[in-house]
Structure 1
């Protein structure tokens, strides 16, 4: 009597295989990158930021060329810091719109059908949008510095100060993008996310900071916009160190992101 063969049967080629998580993540990252740059608004915001930064740098550089318009030792990075903060608001809008675009059109439903692993989708979308807006913000700050130096040669192009400025801009832009992404996922409204992000980063710090009440100033001191200004420009509330500003900004960004992720993971995406 012959013993039965112990050789495993060949796999049925028609049997579907489940791709690994890294493979799914790579595909989703590629899809999110393509989605980001196929939205017309992304190009419009990028063009507006580029043209606005260049125009402001040209005007500031032209004014700085006059006699007595600059002080000894002044560098191009002081002007670039202001332009980076102004450009931040365009980047916040870009991140919010990029996050909420398919919620507004209903495209989130087929998106989740294509990528049912919501954690993978959230990771890919957050990474692509945050990295893109951060790189764009740093590039704009660097462009502002170069244009200012070209227009006003007496403004020094300090490498050390430039490195510190660009690192601060990168941190602020990344944190701001995560804040806008979290608000977009939480509110699922383009207008709501943009308004909320701009209010936290611009309107409320300025408004409350000018109220003649101690409580209003205390609230303004812990808002993310106040910390963003301190990190980029170096002017912040008394008693707040750079480390405090980083922690406050990161806390707001991570809290908004956690709330946004929780809503998409636990509730229907089209509601």
Structure 2
């Protein structure tokens, strides 16, 4: 059987596995409520006080503000779906079904990243539409939408890849969740608060700071740029996938 055929079969199996786990639906639903609900709150507040609107802003700007909430849901869902069968022992029949571990790695990482990224983009689109419904004068121009969704899509994809890599490396849902939350939320904020140049510079190199800069245009260091933030996220994602892939390829499933 060709590698392409096995990869396609493994990809379909991974897709089915994601949506056969109740936690996937729970995380998707919770993220949808948070993102769309925040969009409604932002739109309602702006409609009540339109003087605070930035000139030239569109409804997509309101949707962008929901991106961080979408990212946290994506990270959690990516971790859970990448570690679920390690916790239940289902990884053993999975490897019996797809013994080519490189194929399994590609299918698992690819399907989880694609699924969660698409989910995040769709939810931000829905939140932007809600803002537009409450403030139709803002408009929903396609050009602004492509820019906002393209930027957020990059953040979601690299964040999901980071989460999948950590999940495969640690093989623990709790451990991977704690680690990804520390890297994205806790450590960047903590380091940025310390009165040292080295801590500020280190904070700027954390994945959470890169995501924050690309979503809100702000970061812990004035030296941050869009390019540096993108490279930071890409480097963390690749490093995590290499670590997770190495353990999947070389270590026994029960170790």
TM-score by length of 1: 0.90
- Written as runs of structure 1 = structure 2, the 5 A alignment for 1:20-169 is 20-67=2-49, 68-169=51-152
Shift of 1:159: 2.8
Specify the alignment match of 2:249 in structure 1: 265
CA–CA distance in structure 1, aligned partners of residues 141 and 201 of structure 2: 35
Shift of 1:165: 0.9
- Say if 2:31 and 2:69, in contact at 8 Å, map to a contact too: no
- Say if 2:101 and 2:248, in contact at 8 Å, map to a contact too: yes
Shift of 1:250: 0.2
Q: Deviations over 1:202-229 (max 9, x none)?
A: 1111121122222211110100111111
Shift of 1:85: 1.1
Shift of 1:169: 0.6
Q: Deviations over 1:69-104 (max 9, x none)?
A: 424323222321221111100110000000000001
Runs of 4+ in 1 over 4 A off after TM superposition: none
Unaligned runs of 5+ in 2: none
Q: Which structure has the bigger radius of gyration?
A: 1
Instruction: Tell whether 2:176 aligns with 1:193.
Output: yes
Instruction: Tell whether 2:147 aligns with 1:176.
Output: no
Unaligned runs of 5+ in 1: 1-18
CA–CA distance in structure 1, aligned partners of residues 243 and 205 of structure 2: 19
Q: Which has the higher helix share?
A: 2
Indicate the SS of the match to 1:60.
Answer: helix
Indicate the SS of the match to 2:138.
Answer: coil
- Say if 1:63 and 1:69, in contact at 8 Å, map to a contact too: no
Specify the alignment match of 2:237 in structure 1: 253
Shift of 1:239: 2.2
Shift of 1:243: 1.3
TM-score by length of 2: 0.95
- Say if 1:75 and 1:155, in contact at 8 Å, map to a contact too: yes
Cα pair distance change 1:38/1:204, threshold 3 Å: same
Instruction: Count residues with an aligned counterpart.
Output: 253
